[in-house]
Structure 1
Amino acid sequence: MLTDGNAGRARILFAHGAGAPMDSDFMADVAQRLASDDIEVVRFEFPYMQKRREDGKRRPPDRQPKLLEHFQHLIAANSQDDIPLYLAGKSMGGRMATMLADLPEVSGCFVFGYPFYAPGKQDKPRTEHLQTTTGSISIFQGTRDPMGKQAVVCDYALAGGIELHWLEDGDHDLKPRKASGLTQQQHLEYAVARCQQICLSTTL
């Protein structure tokens, strides 16, 4: 695990995506932006990624039950009565986080690029649990994300506790094209500021 910041008022468990580890450029950038003297960010890796780190061999993600079991173990280990615990994740890690958003130990959930469907498979949305969840979930999504374009996702019936933040021209890494006049840094600054606001508002 990698830890940034201090859990003065909140802690965030941050899960990686399917193909990149906890110390990827995106994970490191977002974690370090989120972290402060009041917010601790704990990055971790799922078992299959831990094995890849040990032997260097790429392998597919573990099956969903194993991913969720590992995440739940970390939730239990990082829960404290006086410090709100939030879950966060990039893509697949964010999807797993949303599946655990209803747990009593979890104060909220942040997702950076939700994989609403596999590329080219819009007919098979991964949204069943998002229709019934009672958790507080903030999803930061690029409008041209190939796993969740705005024009497609806006037709989904999602639970009331889900807040979608659309980032103009962003891709799955929230990165816009140069022609848009926007930057990935601007999008990340917006997303991080909103996450920090939510984390700290619950402890006032």
Structure 2
Amino acid sequence: MELLINRAAAGAPTLVLAHGAGAPMDSDFLQQLSELLCERGVNVCRFEFPYMAERRDGGKKRPPNRQPELIATWQMALEQARQAFSGPVFIGGKSMGGRMAAVLAAANPVPGVVCFGYPFHPPAKPEKLRVDTLKQLPCDALVVQGTRDKLGNKQEVSGYNLPGTIALHWLEDGDHDLKPRVRSGYTHQQHIVMAAQAAADFMARVSPL
């Protein structure tokens, strides 16, 4: 499996970072986020699920693999990262990648999970909640979410009764990609910087295994 690595320092915490359903591991968002995390003393290790790797090779859009295959790929990436880095290894991702990280954490002891734009429900289907995985997590987690995310905005998430082990970091007026509208007074770059800082702070304060 090919890994895309931003290396900070030996012994530093590492975040294995999975992409979302529609963009690859070297998307502008994940590239900026990884560089900012690295500047803040976090090693970042990215990988791609099979369907995205096939899309890269053939150029044809493909739907995400079924969950068992996504989890099997995640497991391989986690094992490779643990061999490559000596410090604590966290897992997380953008949207679907973060949700699958939370699923993986149920059976794989990790210090914590970091999710950027968590898909609390499918688009336009707020009744189909995806919160059980978070509620059953055996470790601490951070969710960095835009306040107007269509897959779980601030008002909706406030009613989900999430456990205290789930830290929520809200980015004002951010959408599912954490992007605010111009009239908000914020920029996308500012929100990505804040997301990276929140993640680095979370990993620094969570006790490693």
TM-score (norm 2): 0.90
1:163-174 matches, cutoff 5 A:
163-174=167-178
Q: Is 1:132 aligned to 2:136, yes or no?
A: yes
1:36-185 matches, cutoff 5 A:
36=39, 38-79=41-82, 82-185=86-189
Deviations 1:22-81 (A, max 9, x none): 111111111111114842111110011111111111010001111011101211222259
Tell me, in whole angstroms, the C-alpha distance in 2 between the residues paired with 1:44 and 1:22.
6
Is the contact between residue 114 and residue 148 of structure 1 (CA under 8 Å) also seen in structure 2?
yes
Tell me, in whole angstroms, the C-alpha distance in 2 between the residues paired with 1:20 and 1:170.
18
Is the contact between residue 91 and residue 113 of structure 1 (CA under 8 Å) also seen in structure 2?
yes
Match of 2:6 in 1: 4
Q: Secondary structure at the match of 1:138?
A: strand
Deviations 1:132-171 (A, max 9, x none): 2121110010011111111111100222211111111000
Instruction: Show structure 1 runs of 5+ residues with no match.
Output: none
Tell me, in whole angstroms, the C-alpha distance in 2 between the residues paired with 1:28 and 1:136.
25
How far off is 1:105 after superposition? 4.1
Tell me, in whole angstroms, the C-alpha distance in 2 between the residues paired with 1:104 and 1:194.
23
Deviations 1:157-192 (A, max 9, x none): 222211111111000111111111111222222221
Tell me, in whole angstroms, the C-alpha distance in 1 between the residues paired with 2:109 and 2:132.
22
Aligned match for 1:32, one of 30, 35, 58: 35
Tell me, in whole angstroms, the C-alpha distance in 1 between the residues paired with 2:159 and 2:119.
15
Is the contact between residue 8 and residue 39 of structure 2 (CA under 8 Å) also seen in structure 1?
yes
Q: Secondary structure at the match of 2:105?
A: coil
What is the aligned length?
Answer: 203
Judge which range, 101-110 or 142-151, deviates more: 101-110
Task: Give aligned-pair identity as a percent.
Answer: 45
Going from structure 1 to structure 2, the CA distance change for 1:21 and 1:122 (only over 3 Å counts) comes to same
Instruction: Show structure 2 runs of 5+ residues with no match.
Output: none
Match of 1:23 in 2: 26
Tell me, in whole angstroms, the C-alpha distance in 1 between the residues paired with 2:202 and 2:156.
27
Tell me, in whole angstroms, the C-alpha distance in 1 between the residues paired with 2:91 and 2:66.
20
Aligned match for 2:16, one of 13, 17, 28: 13
Structure 1 runs (4+) greater than 6 angstroms displaced: none
How far off is 1:15 after superposition? 0.3
Tell me, in whole angstroms, the C-alpha distance in 2 between the residues paired with 1:102 and 1:160.
17
Letter matched to residue 115 of structure 1: P
Q: Is 1:200 aligned to 2:204, yes or no?
A: yes
Letter matched to residue 199 of structure 1: M
Going from structure 1 to structure 2, the CA distance change for 1:7 and 1:48 (only over 3 Å counts) comes to farther
Going from structure 1 to structure 2, the CA distance change for 1:76 and 1:91 (only over 3 Å counts) comes to same
Is the contact between residue 140 and residue 166 of structure 2 (CA under 8 Å) also seen in structure 1?
yes
TM-score (norm 1): 0.92
